[in-house]
Chains A and B, each alone.
Chain A
Amino acid sequence: MSDITMIDAVNLAMHYEMNQDPAMVVLGEDIGINGGVFRATVGLLDKFGQERVLDTPLAENMIAGIAVGMAAQGLHPVAEIQFMGFIYPAIDQMISHAGRLRNRTRGRLSCPMVLRAPYGGGIHAPEHHSESTEAMFAHIPGLRVVIPSSPARAYGLLLAAIRDPDPVVFLEPKRVYRLMKQSVKDNGEALPLDTCFVLRPGNDITLVSWGAMLHETQLAAEQLATEGVEAEVIDLATIKPIDMETILESVGRTGRCVIVQEAARTCSVGSEISARLAEEGLMSLFAPIRRVSGYDTVMPMFRLEKYYMPSTERIIQAVRETLEYA
C-alpha cells in the first residue's frame, strides 16, 4: 500500500464500490474518457464501461435530476458537478426532490444518490471556481452534507456516502486534492456519517473546522503548542448532521471555542455551531465563541483570495483574544 492523495482516494473509493455494487453508476461532465477535470474518475470508464460511467450533456440541473430518477429506480448514482460554482442549477433538484422524495412518498420511494463537487479556494482558479457555499446544502432537510479533510477521510466518507440510503452532497476541498499524501487501506471500510474526528487533543481551547481549513487550523495549533497552549482540533467532517455531542464535550473541557471556515460568515455552518454552543454549552464557556471565516463579500478572484481565506495568523490571533478572557 502506497501513500496517496485525496483525489486518488476519491478515485479508489469509487473503484472499490463500483466493483461491489452493480447498481452504482457514475455520471457527470468529462468524467468518462477525460477522467474528470481533476482526474477523480480516471480509469472507471476502462474498467466498468460506458453503461456505468456516463458522460452527460452539459447541464447541471439535468445531472442532479437524472440522478434523482435513477436513485428512485434503485440505482446508486454518483454524480459529479465539475465545480461548486456550477452546482446552483442543481440545487432546485436537491431541494425540491432529492431531499423530499422519501418523505413525500412516506418511504415508498427513496433517493440514494451522491452529488460530488470540488469546492473552495486557494488554487488560483478562474472566477466562480473558488466559493464555499456548503451552508446552502446544510439548510436543506433530507440531505446529508459531507466534507472530507484528508485522503483517508475522503476514502471512508465517500464509501459511506455512496452506501447511505439517502441523498448525500459530498464536497471535496480541491486545495487538498494534492496537498498531502497518506497511507490509505483499500479495504472498503466506510466511516460514520454523523461523527466528528478529533485530530489533536488539547484542554485549553477547542478549534472546530472542516475541509481545507483544517490545514491552517492544525498549523495554528502546532504553533500555539510551542507557546504552551494546547488546542483541541476537531474535524467536523459531516456538515449535516453536525455531531454536536463531540463539540460540546470538548468545549465542556476547554471552555473556549474558535470555529474556522473558508465560507462567508453570515448564516454559515459556523453560525449554526455557535448557536448550538450558545444554546447547549453556554455555562461551560469562559469566553465568547469566535468565528474566523471568509468575509461576507463576493469571493475575490485569485489575486486577492489569500486575503479572503482565513490564514494561520488570523486563527492564532482569534485564539489569543479568546484566551484573554479569564
Chain B
Amino acid sequence: MNKTASFKVDYYQYLQPNGEPEGELPPLADDTKTIHALYRNMLFTRLYDERAVNLQRTGQIGTFASSLGQEAIGAGVGHAMQPNDIITPSFRESGALFFRGFRVYDLLLYWGGDERGMSNPEVGDDFPICVPISTHATHAAGAAFAVKYRKEPRVVVCILGDGGTSKGDFYEAINLAGVWNLPLVFVINNNQWAISVPRAMQSKTETLAQKAIAAGIPGIQIDGNDPIAVRHHVAEAIENARSGGGPTLIEAISYRLCHHTTADDATRYRSDEELEAQRKFDPIPRLKVFMNQRGIWSDDQEKQLLAQCKDDIEKEVRLYLDSEPQAPSSMFDSLYAELPDELTNQRQSLLGKE
C-alpha cells in the first residue's frame, strides 16, 4: 500500500479557561487597545442579549437568538476584519455585526420584525443576517469572486454554525473557494447544538475543521471561547487571503449557554449538569482574569464600562421603541427597482386600507 496523502488538524488555544496564558501568546495579547476592544464588544453583546431577551419576554420584539457564551467568536471575527471587508453572517453574530457598524437599533428593528433593520447604509455592502442554514456560504464565495475579479484588496468572512456544516451549501462553497482560490474565510461557530441536535449527531468526523481537507483548503480548530485565539487566527486567515493565499476554514469550539432562541426550551434535550459544566469556559471572565493579571484592568474600569454599555444600549432601545412603524405599503417599495403594473395595482388596493 502506498500512502497518497496525509492530513492533520491543528488546535490552538492561548488563554486557558481560568484566564491563565498557555505557551507563547500572539503579539495582539500585548496590544491593550485590542484587548480592551474585544472585552468591550463581548460585554456589550452580552448586555445587549440580556436586554433583547427581556424585550422579547415583554412582547416588544419577536423571537430572538442570543449568543450567550459565544461572544468571543463575534468579537474576534469583527475586530479582525478591515472596514472594507465583507461579512456574510448567520443569525448569531451580533458582536461581529456591532464591529461592522450595525447598531443595537438596527438589530432590534430586525428581530422586531422590521426589514429596515438590515437597511442601514452605514454598514456598506455587508450581507444581511441569513436565516436559512448555510445558504449564505455560496453568497460569500460569489462576493469573494467579485472582489477578486475587481482586484480589490478585500476579504469575505462567512460565519455559520456546526449544523450548517452538514449542508450541501457549505460543501459546495468551500469546494469552490478552494478551486477558485477565493479571498474567503469560513468561521464555524461550533456551539455543540443545532437546536436540539448535538454535534455528535451532525457528523461522524472527529472535527468539523477537517471538512476543509476534502476541499483542499487549510482547516484549523481553535478555542472559540478564547478571544485571543479567535482574533489572532481569524486575522491571520484574513490577511493570508488578502495577499492571495486563498481560503481558510476555522472551526471555533464554543458552547451555546442559551436556548437556541427565545422560542426554544433547551431543558427538553440537555441536562443542567452539562450546561453548568460549560460555564467555566465562559469567554468574558476568562479575558477579564487575563486583563487583571496583566494589570490592564481595574474594578473602576469594569464599573465604568458596564455603566457605559448599559447606557448606550438603553439609548438605542429607546430609539427602537420610539421608531415610527413602516407604512404597510413599504412591502412593495423595495421588491423591484421598478414596480411592475400588477403590483402597483396590488399596492393601491393595500393603500386603500392603510
Contacts and interface: CB of A to CB of B under 8 A. Distances in A.
Interface of A: 25, 51-52, 54, 56-57, 59, 61-62, 64-75, 77, 89, 92-93, 96-97, 101-110, 141-142, 164-166, 194, 241-242, 244-245
Contacts of A25: 149
8 contacts: A57-B175, A59-B172, A65-B138, A72-B127, A92-B132, A103-B331, A164-B337, A165-B338
Interface residues of B, number: 45
B341 A67 contact: no
Interface string B323-354: 00000001100111110111100000000000
A109 B127 contact: yes
Contact of A65 (B141, B179, B334, B340): B141
B139 A102 contact: no
B198 interface: no
A62 B334 contact: no
Interface stretch (B22-30, B113-121, B219-227): B113-121
B316 to A, nearest CB: 19
B216 to A, nearest CB: 12
A74 B118 contact: no
B128 interface: yes
Given A108-B119, A241-B342, A72 B334 contact: no
Interface string B151-180: 000000000000000001100110110010
A64 B335 CA distance: 19
Nearest to B338: A165
A71 B119 CA distance: 17
Contacts of B147: 73
Given A52-B149, A61-B169, A69-B143, 7 more contacts: A59-B175, A62-B169, A62-B176, A101-B128, A104-B128, A106-B119, A194-B340
Nearest to A99: B335
Contacts of B229: none
B285 interface: no
B56 interface: no
Interface of B: 86, 88, 115-116, 118-121, 123, 125, 127-128, 132, 135-147, 149, 168-169, 172-173, 175-176, 179, 330-331, 334-338, 340-343
Contact of A244 (B88, B142, B179, B342): B342
A73 B88 CA distance: 12
A72 B116 contact: no
A115 to B, nearest CB: 13
Nearest to B172: A62
Contacts of B136: 97
Given A59-B168, A74-B146, A108 B121 contact: yes
B149 A51 contact: yes
B119 A107 contact: yes
A61 B138 contact: yes
A141 B336 CA distance: 9
A92 B145 CA distance: 21
B66 to A, nearest CB: 22
Contacts of B116: 106
A110 B337 contact: yes
Contact of B139 (A56, A72, A165): A72
4 nearest interchain CB pairs?
A69-B142, A65-B138, A73-B146, A66-B142
A107 B138 CA distance: 21
A52 B175 CA distance: 19
A200 B176 CA distance: 48
A61 B168 contact: yes
A66 B172 CA distance: 10
A105 B137 contact: no
A110 B342 CA distance: 21
A145 B341 CA distance: 15
Given A51-B149, A70-B142, A194 B341 contact: yes
B332 to A, nearest CB: 9
A103 B337 CA distance: 10
A305 to B, nearest CB: 31
Contacts of A103: 115, 331, 334-335
Contacts of A164: 337
Contacts of A51: 149
Nearest to A241: B340
Nearest to A280: B345
B138 A66 contact: yes
A61 B172 contact: yes
A108 B122 CA distance: 10
B142 to A, nearest CB: 2
Contacts of B337: 102, 110, 164-166
A106 B125 CA distance: 13
B284 to A, nearest CB: 32
Contacts of A106: 115-116, 118-119, 330, 334
A89 B147 CA distance: 26
Best-surrounded residue of A64, A71, A72 (most CB of chain B within 10 A)? A72
A69 B138 contact: yes
Given A56-B176, A107-B334, A110-B337, A65 B142 contact: yes
A73 B125 contact: yes
Contacts of A68: 138-139, 142
A66 B136 CA distance: 9
A196 to B, nearest CB: 12
A69 B334 contact: no
Contact of B142 (A77, A108, A110): A77
Given A106-B118, A110-B337, A241-B341, A96 B135 contact: yes
Given A25-B149, A244-B342, A104 B141 contact: no
B212 to A, nearest CB: 16
B334 A73 contact: no
Contacts of A194: 340-341
B353 to A, nearest CB: 19
Contacts of B120: 108
A73 B121 contact: no
